[in-house]
Amino acid sequence: MQEVLVRQKIALQKNEFKAGRETLIFIHGLAGSSSAWSDHVNGFSSQFNLVLLDLRGHGKSHRYPAFSDYLPSHFSEDIDAVFSDLSISDATLVSHSFGCLVALEYAATRPDRIKKVVFISPRFGAPNRVLLFASWAASVPVKFIGKLLSGSSIPRRLDYKDFPRNTDFNPKRMCGDIANTGLRTYLHCIRHALRLDHERKASLVGCPVLLVHGDADRVFPFAHALHAQKVMPHARLVRVPKANHVVVLTHIDLLHDEIERFVSASV
């Protein structure tokens, strides 16, 4: 994979683009990075042009300081820059968790550039658990907050093989993610996620949609995937038995098969 820095701010990884192939843009979840998709590269690289994006404030991308820097519209501007700088005419967005909100915003505002969207473990109208976790994060001791406020001094991506316990609330993995991203960015993104009108945005998405959700997800329970399907009746829902929220780390083969089938299907 090649390293690319878009507009000197947004980092991504890409394979060698080839004419005539579909392009997939992968968007990770909150406090993660493009490394969340590392195990997916081999399965897709021979068939598709791939872009693994580090969202602003995450991974190797620039850490912006202000709350307003994390408005959904700014994430959309970053994705727009990826399309323009890499000369991508259209693509399928593959998103997970918080990344689903970014994909939703972009698909609703730039339908001309989006062929299809994959939402993995999305949240639609389910603020309670996130609010509880945000309250916990905000109550961390002042000394700890000071240490983690701006994130790692050297932007990097975590290797998730260092965190083999892929449970929904793995303290070691979560602390590693937040320490790398920074508590400030983490809380800014949560606040914006809770303010977003998911249903109105979802009603604007007219392209084919694939929803993938584990029925043992304790972060955003499966009921929210059912709600998302009601809001987007044209969406196809795949229920993953006994899978939790981090299905992108635990069900590589299943996701590959479902995404490949979805992208390759004629509209």
Q: Give me the domains of the chain, ranges plus CATH numbers.
A: 2-264 (3.40.50.1820)
- The phi, psi pair for 168, rounded to 5°, reads -60, -40
Contact 231, 199 (CB under 8 A): yes
Higher pLDDT, 184 or 211: 211
Nearest to 53 by CA among 99, 16, 85, 12: 12
CB atoms inside a 10 Å sphere around CB 255: 24
DSSP state of 225: H
pLDDT-derived band at 152 (thresholds 50, 70, 90) equals low
pLDDT of residue 13: 98
Of 33-37, 72-76, 185-189, the poorest mean pLDDT is in 185-189
Q: Write the pLDDT tens digit of every residue in 8-33.
A: 899 999 999 999 999 999 999 999 99
CB atoms inside a 10 Å sphere around CB 10: 24
Q: Write the pLDDT tens digit of every residue in 115-128.
A: 999 999 998 864 44
CB atoms inside a 10 Å sphere around CB 229: 17
Q: Kindly tell me the number of DSSP H helices and DSSP E strands found in the chain.
A: 11, 8
pLDDT of residue 126: 47
Q: Using the predicted structure, report yes or no on whether residue 176 has a pLDDT greater than 80.
A: yes
Rg (CA), the chain: 17
Rounded CA-CA distance 234/80 in Å is 25
pLDDT of residue 143: 41
Helices 128-138 and 183-195 pack at an angle, to 10 degrees, of 150
Average pLDDT over residues 203-232: 93
pLDDT of residue 136: 43
DSSP state of 12: E
pTM of the full structure: 0.91
Higher pLDDT, 196 or 114: 114
Average pLDDT over residues 222-247: 93
Q: Three-state DSSP class for 15?
A: coil
